[in-house]
Amino acid sequence: MDSVTESNQPRIAPAYEDIGEAPTERRGEWGPRLRKLPRKLVTWIPLALLVLWTVAPLLVTLSVSFKTRGEVFAFPSLIPEEPTLDPYREVLARPGFRGAFVNSIVVGVGTAFLTLALSVPAAYAFARFNFRGRHLLLLLVLLPRLIPSVGLMVPLYRIAILLGVLDQRLTLIVAFTGTLVPLAVWLLVGFFQAIPRDLEEAANVDGASTWSRLRFIVMPLAFPALLTIGVLAFREAWNEFGLVLALTRTPGNRTLPYELFLMQDGTGLANYPGEAAFALLTLVPFLLVYLRIERFVVSGITSGAIK
């Protein structure tokens, strides 16, 4: 009777058995993790190299901007031995820096607005209207983008001389816009095609015109795309040097890249700390603005990539 009672009672495992089984279970859990390790390495190693490739030049530029000329040519080190703000003071004290900064903002904003004003109607026509040769014409629109800006310097210079518009900020805006409209049209076509046609058809039934549909339906829905194009246009105008060199003569109409070019010492001794400080001062404002609108830009890029 006692034996039956004992057999019906649940068996309590000794404490040493639990201690002995735990390492076995933990070893079993490491198996899937080890199998996933090569896949993670294949993903993370290229990302780490890309981040290093991107961040390393910025760190070196930041380091050089706090050094003296003599320290730059001494034994290279990332951390300055005696940090100084003299390169930044030298850049801010330059007579042409503030004027070039204002010119860059005016030309960049003007290029962005003019690029959108010309590319939005053209891209909408390609996206919504079916006409003969539409795909071929869209390809031909992109072909001028393949011409480098160096190849446009002489033709645009001769056109500006012929029209008497050389050395004007408006000339720079028009020239930059001409190089950016093909790319903007090509990108916006994909954005507009991703917008459902049913929304425009419903508005058309209510009597909305083509301009009303574009203005009140398509453009609000494509706001991230428009912001993306505006940022790209502003960046291109902000960094362009060749066309500024060809189309300007006086310091009052030059932009920041040309002013940075003028910092080169005529004696042959490069002012690396000053140039690094100049580059960072021109980068920081654009970077701060971009961080404020980064989520819209990323949304616009990904929505266009889906199409």
Q: Is 61 exposed, middle or buried (0-12, 13-18, 19+ CB in 10 A)?
A: middle
> Does residue 30 carry a pLDDT above 70?
no
Q: How many residues does the chain have?
A: 307
The pLDDT value given to residue 18 = 47
Whose tokens are 């503030």? That residue is: 98
Q: Quick one: angle between helices 223-239 and 169-193, nearest 10?
A: 150
Per-position DSSP letters for 244-266, written without gaps between them:
HHHH--SGGG--HHHHHHTTS-T
pLDDT, tens digit, 9 for 90 and up, residues 165-180: 999 999 999 999 999 9
Q: How confident is the model at residue 307 (pLDDT cuts 50, 70, 90)?
A: very low
Label residue 1 by pLDDT band (50, 70, 90): very low
The mean pLDDT value for 274-282 works out to 90
pTM more than 0.85: no
Type of residue found at 173: I
Domains of the chain listed by start with CATH number:
2-65 (no CATH), 86-306 (1.10.3720.10)
Question: If residue 156 lies in a helix (H) or strand (E), which one and from where to where?
Answer: helix 149-163
Residue 43 DSSP symbol: H
pLDDT value at residue 117: 94
Cα 51 to Cα 43, 58, 301, distances in angstroms: 13, 11, 20
Average pLDDT taken over every residue of the chain: 81
Report how far residue 187's alpha carbon sits from residue 198's, in angstroms, rounded to the nearest whole number. Answer: 22
Taking each helix axis from N to C end, the angle separating 272-306 and 169-193, rounded to the nearest 10 degrees, works out to 30
The two tokens of residue 181 are: 């409209």
Task: Please compute Rg for the chain using Cα positions.
Answer: 30
Output the pLDDT for position 35: 66
Q: What is the mean pLDDT of residues 214-223?
A: 86
Amino acid of residue 190: G
Q: How far is 288 from 280, CA to CA, in rounded Å?
A: 12
Handedness of CA 130, 132, 136, 141 (dihedral sign): negative
Please tell me the predicted confidence (pLDDT) of residue 118. Answer: 94
